[in-house]
Structure 1
Amino acid sequence: MFELDAASNNSVDDIRNLINQVRIAPTIGTKKAYIIDEVHMLSKSAFNAFLKTLEEPPKHAVFILATTEKHKILPTILSRCQIFNFNRITSEDIAQHLSIIAKKENITAESDALHIIGQKADGGLRDALSIFDQLVSFSGGQLTYENVIKNLNILDYDYYFQTTDLIKQKNLSSLLLLLNQIIEKGFEDLIFMNGLASHFRNLLVSKDESTLQLLDVGENIKEKYKTQSKENSLSFLINGLEILSNYDVQFKTSKNKRLLTEITLMQLCSEEVSESKKKSLVE
């Protein structure tokens, strides 16, 4: 089995060297597998040089082309391949796998902490293992939710739960102070507000037991969502999502982004949304 990293070996000469290797029959076994990783990084000339070999490969050769951007591969190449699409690994599956490793290595790890690592890895188990290894080194074998979000620079879910409560209470002064506290921690306005939009979406999903499985969070956080979702009406959440969606559009062109953020929070606290508008949004 041979592997070629197309990201750093993407020239015609690199492909010609590979073709020369392909011609040599295996000394052990009957097959030789050639894995070309990040194949979409090959130049157009390299693809064309590879096409003839792909059309009429030696009987002993098997080519495995790996990519995350299939649309960048030439149609003439794709038409000669058998395509297998792999889904991203879910955060829950990654957390379970890391939990097994933690037990084998005698590492104390909270389930919510492992779930955060799974989210940060974005479906990549190799990335999750790398993050897990680094965090274990930093924390001395004690992985807690608090030290994971601190080391990964992730805003605590509690800030979103607290923000929602303050919006519901129309407590604008405390809300602006909380925003200032979050910004002083180094988090940008857009990151916080997009996170708040995701939080409102999660609250909406939590209103029905059948859709709880759509929440990509740990069990303890999921219980908090279930509790807070009961305290907020459907019209409140939908109206909030509409306001936050408009904020996301306006943010790129705004010259005073902090002011836009504060005005948006004021709008979320405002009671001036008509009941008819709320009803039309729900319907």
Structure 2
Amino acid sequence: MQQGYQVIARRWRPTSFSELVGQEKVVRVLTNAIERNRVAHAYLFVGPRGTGKTSIARLFAMALNCEQGPSIHVPVLETSAVCRAIFNGSSLDVIEIDGASNNSVEQVRALREECQYAPAELRYKIYIIDEVHMLSTAAFNALLKTLEEPPAHVKFLFATTEAHKIPLTIVSRCQRLEFQPIPAAAIVKKLAEIAKADGLSIEPEALASIARLADGGMRDAQSILEQMIAFCGATIRESDILDVYGLASEADIRGIIDAMVAKDMKQTLARAQTLITNACDLGRAQKDILQALRARLLKAIETGSKESAAALLFMMDSFSTQTKNLGPLAFEVSLLRAIEWSQLHSVDLLIASLEEDKKKRSTS
């Protein structure tokens, strides 16, 4: 029977530690633990969605249970039945559980009893619990005893996007590893590799726009690319992405920033009106403008421009206060308020500087 189509996110799921993108520190911790035979009984993977938490959990399970393992060199799937079963989710001893739908105390008690039995086929019985923060308080309490005194053949790999919802009694019994948002440059590089392998023609600006939309999530970036292929076919341009997702172009964002820094309210309004006319997502535009202001601020600090840095900081402070219900009018007002706010404080800084100079002259 012909195999059905698999989406990009599944086809390009990492099959070895070397294929993982943007989580080098996490990989280093886990590979060192394997090489030095210091593998903990429970790990807590914390980070934004789509950054590789469950992918690394599967790879770690493969590394611990492969035929020549434990080994950091995960065999090629075609040569290892064990790794292939774990990767495909068909292994009896690597159990993936969705914490959102298996969160009752009865289900955790059943898991606690089940984990006492030796693995059916592999070296370790591994439980991967995704969105573990969704477990109920009673379920967490039922899990505590097992985490305190786990059987030698059991490993727990927890993944969550909201670590603050997990009881400290659970966190303290795990090794916590933080997953960072994947840098845009790394996402662009990986998407370019996928595009080349799939015979796609995609503009570099389009890749950059996808990375901007993904907010550090590789899975989100791959899903966006998948949708754009469905919309555009084999040729994808930046304008297509801007139209589909209501994204403001980098040139538009740069134009607004230039007008704001120049204190040109008329030009700022004209640039904002362009975004509104093009039906851009204003909430997303606000986020992009704040990111661009931050980049300008860092550059001003590096160059030692105190006055420019202060003005940019006050702009960011004012513009970031409007975060909800950002309609066209509120968007325009927030831009103008940011300019006015920075002007007022620039005057305050100037007065303070003049008074400081006056004091220095009077004491000299």
- Give the TM-score taking structure 2 as reference length: 0.60
Match in the other structure for 2:210: 117
Measure, in 2, the Cα distance between the counterparts of 1:148 and 1:22. 48
* Residues 318 and 338 in structure 2, CA contact (< 8 A), matched pair in contact too: no
Measure, in 2, the Cα distance between the counterparts of 1:279 and 1:104. 60
Residues 108 and 207 (structure 1), Cα distance of their counterparts in 2 relative to 1, 3 Å cut: farther
How many angstroms does 1:259 deviate by? 6.8
Amino acid at match of 1:246: S
Match in the other structure for 1:277: 350
Larger CA deviation: 265-274 vs 10-19: 265-274
Measure, in 2, the Cα distance between the counterparts of 1:58 and 1:115. 47
Instruction: Find the partner of 1:61 among 154, 158, 164.
Output: 154
Amino acid at match of 2:172: S
User: SS at 1:7's partner residue?
Assistant: coil
Bigger RCO of structures 1 and 2 (CA < 8 A, at least 6 apart): 2
Identity rate, percent: 33
Match in the other structure for 2:113: 20
How many angstroms does 1:3 deviate by? 0.6
CA deviations over 1:23-76 (Å, ceiling 9, x no partner): 332221221111111111111100111112222222221111112222322222
Match in the other structure for 1:239: 311
Alignment of 1:1-283 (within 5 A): 1-167=94-260, 172-187=265-280, 192-193=285-286, 195-206=288-299, 235-236=307-308, 238-249=310-321, 257=330, 260-261=333-334, 263-264=336-337, 267=340, 273-274=346-347, 277=350
Measure, in 2, the Cα distance between the counterparts of 1:115 and 1:159. 15
Amino acid at match of 1:106: G
Measure, in 2, the Cα distance between the counterparts of 1:140 and 1:173. 40
Residues 55 and 201 (structure 1), Cα distance of their counterparts in 2 relative to 1, 3 Å cut: closer
Amino acid at match of 2:330: K
CA deviations over 1:164-215 (Å, ceiling 9, x no partner): 444566654444333223223334766545543432332344469xx7xxxx
Amino acid at match of 2:162: E
Match in the other structure for 1:220: none
Which stretches in structure 1 are left out of the alignment for 5+ residues? Answer: 212-228
Amino acid at match of 2:272: L
User: SS at 1:2's partner residue?
Assistant: strand
Residues 24 and 184 (structure 1), Cα distance of their counterparts in 2 relative to 1, 3 Å cut: same
Larger CA deviation: 189-198 vs 240-249: 189-198
Amino acid at match of 2:340: Q
- Length, aligned pairs only: 258
Amino acid at match of 2:179: F
User: SS at 2:156's partner residue?
Assistant: strand
User: SS at 1:87's partner residue?
Assistant: coil
Match in the other structure for 2:70: none
Measure, in 1, the Cα distance between the counterparts of 2:212 and 2:332. 31
Match in the other structure for 1:219: none
CA deviations over 1:207-230 (Å, ceiling 9, x no partner): 69xx7xxxxxxxxxxxxxxxxx9x
How many angstroms does 1:96 deviate by? 0.7
* Residues 240 and 268 in structure 1, CA contact (< 8 A), matched pair in contact too: no
**Cα RMSD (Å):** 3.5
Residues 184 and 40 (structure 1), Cα distance of their counterparts in 2 relative to 1, 3 Å cut: same
How many angstroms does 1:98 deviate by? 1.0
Measure, in 1, the Cα distance between the counterparts of 2:209 and 2:142. 44
User: SS at 1:249's partner residue?
Assistant: coil
CA deviations over 1:127-149 (Å, ceiling 9, x no partner): 22111111121111212222122
* Residues 112 and 143 in structure 2, CA contact (< 8 A), matched pair in contact too: yes
Residues 148 and 196 (structure 1), Cα distance of their counterparts in 2 relative to 1, 3 Å cut: same
Measure, in 2, the Cα distance between the counterparts of 1:58 and 1:109. 51
* Residues 269 and 332 in structure 2, CA contact (< 8 A), matched pair in contact too: no
Residues 74 and 125 (structure 1), Cα distance of their counterparts in 2 relative to 1, 3 Å cut: same
* Residues 127 and 155 in structure 2, CA contact (< 8 A), matched pair in contact too: yes
- Give the TM-score taking structure 1 as reference length: 0.75
